[in-house]
Amino acid sequence: MSLFSKKPATLSDVVRRVRAGEQKFDPSLREFLDWFYMNPHARQQAIEERPASIDPVHDAYAAAVAEHLARVYGLQIPEWTEVHGNELREPFFAGGLQSLKGVLVAESPTAFRRRLLFVSKDALSRPRM
């Protein structure tokens, strides 16, 4: 069975794939989100383990994802989200388009905004939702 025959079941799995050079962050995160949404019984476990570090943007993104999913689904916010991913010093705007900055500032969920990440309100949505 290959690594990609199974979707990542935790945020730590996402980061392990990225660090090993086996998959880029965005596709791995999308696969994780698919798994997360389809497995409500395992959602808390999916965000519990603190992932390894990649870089300031991806570390902040992983922490924001865990915090946001916990808030939306009434899960316990993992303690690691308070200490992981706080190294970002410059705002990061998803999409990279200057014209989107105002929209992203307005729409970005709190878990992302407080880490200087600005994403659309549906950044974690998936087609099957």
Q: What is the pLDDT of residues 10-60, one digit of tens each?
A: 999 999 999 999 999 999 999 999 999 999 999 999 999 999 999 999 999
Between these two residues, 7 and 50, which has the higher pLDDT value? 50
> Given this model, what pLDDT does residue 65 score?
98
Is 84 contained in some domain? Answer: yes
Q: Answer for the pair 45, 10: CB distance below 8 angstroms, yes or no.
A: yes
Between these two residues, 129 and 52, which has the higher pLDDT value? 52
- Its pTM stands at 0.90
> Given this model, what pLDDT does residue 2 score?
46
Is 126 contained in some domain? Answer: no
Is 127 contained in some domain? Answer: no
> Given this model, what pLDDT does residue 127 score?
77
- Give the DSSP H or E segment for 15: helix 11-19
Domain membership of residue 42 as a residue range: 8-118
Is 129 contained in some domain? Answer: no
Is 87 contained in some domain? Answer: yes
Q: What is the pLDDT of residues 56-108, one digit of tens each?
A: 999 999 999 999 999 999 999 999 999 999 999 999 998 776 678 888 889 99
Is 80 contained in some domain? Answer: yes
> Given this model, what pLDDT does residue 22 score?
93
Is 124 contained in some domain? Answer: no
> Given this model, what pLDDT does residue 46 score?
98
Cα distances (angstroms) measured from residue 50 to each of 21, 23, 93: 19, 19, 24
- Structural domains of the chain, count: 1
Residue 3 has pLDDT above 70, yes or no: no
Is 125 contained in some domain? Answer: no
> Given this model, what pLDDT does residue 89 score?
92
